[in-house]
Amino acid sequence: MSGSPIPLIAGNWKMHGSRGFAEGLAGSLAGCMSNASATAFEMLLCPPTPLLGEVRDAVGTSGIFIGGQDCHTAEHGPHTGDIAAGMLADAGCAYVIVGHSERRADHAEDDAMVTAKAAAAQSAGLVPVVCVGETMDERDVGQAVAVVMDQLRGSVPVGSSGDTLVVAYEPVWAIGTGRTPTLADIKEVHDAIRLVLADIADEGDRVRILYGGSVKPENARKILNIDNVNGALVGGASLKAEEFWAIAQAV
Ligand code: PGA
């Protein structure tokens, strides 16, 4: 669709990898990227923080972006173990994932905290990838769209735009399970997100809306073809260069 934002294929490595693994995976993808004559997508790798340096060096000048998996709401301060958005920017990041359902569950992050993290990211010059998604129970009782719209309105900083915000729709029950919503269900949620973005963001039609949850080379083409799906946030399949590259090729 002309005028659509350029798709973003993002890899969320979660808590996986080592320096050697990172160099190998990022290096392979950088090779694929550099050999491709033209790419119709942007690629983003979000490794664990200690591996950012290796990934940054391995992607080199290939054009692959790097990002963090979380940031703190504050610029600095007495927050042992936390990482400020500015530190990620300093390490070479352009993006940071915020509000992933694993962080919402493991660290009791609510929408207000996710908004504050996204705002901190924007202040540091990073683009937050704000994650939203319903549980299976919520879908079962017909509340998927309502829950996701609520999270979206609660998790996006005022004044966000296509240049300063990416949204990722990730049904909690689809993450790491091999199960995905039907194409119609994905379309329903993405269309609804697009409508809300028109209301809460500047030029909301330019904000990229990624789908995440068990994206694989086998289902990527159909998912990425859906209107208002502007890329993918990929977990498991982003840990293998050939699978992640195949997903990017499905754009
Ligand atoms: P998955 O994870 O691709 O392994 O389902 C997606 C995510 O959690 O971002």
Pocket around ligand 1: residues whose beta carbon is below 6 Å from it?
A: 12, 170, 175-176, 212-215, 233-237
pLDDT (0 to 100) of residue 216: 98
CB 65 within 8 A of CB 45: yes
Where the chain has pLDDT below 50, the residues are 1-2
Instruction: State how far the Cα of 165 lies from the Cα of 201, in Å rounded to an integer.
Output: 9
pLDDT (0 to 100) of residue 188: 98
pLDDT (0 to 100) of residue 38: 78
220-248 pLDDT tens trace: 999 999 999 999 999 999 999 999 999 99
pLDDT (0 to 100) of residue 39: 83
Considering only CA atoms, which of 157, 238, 231 is closest in space to residue 197?
157
pLDDT (0 to 100) of residue 2: 42
Radius of gyration of the chain, Cα coordinates, nearest whole angstrom: 17
pLDDT (0 to 100) of residue 1: 41
CA distances from 199 to 144, 194, 242 (A): 20, 9, 39
**Dist. CA 101 → ligand 1 center (Å):** 10
Q: Which amino acid is at 234?
A: V
Atom of ligand 1 nearest to the CA of 234: 3
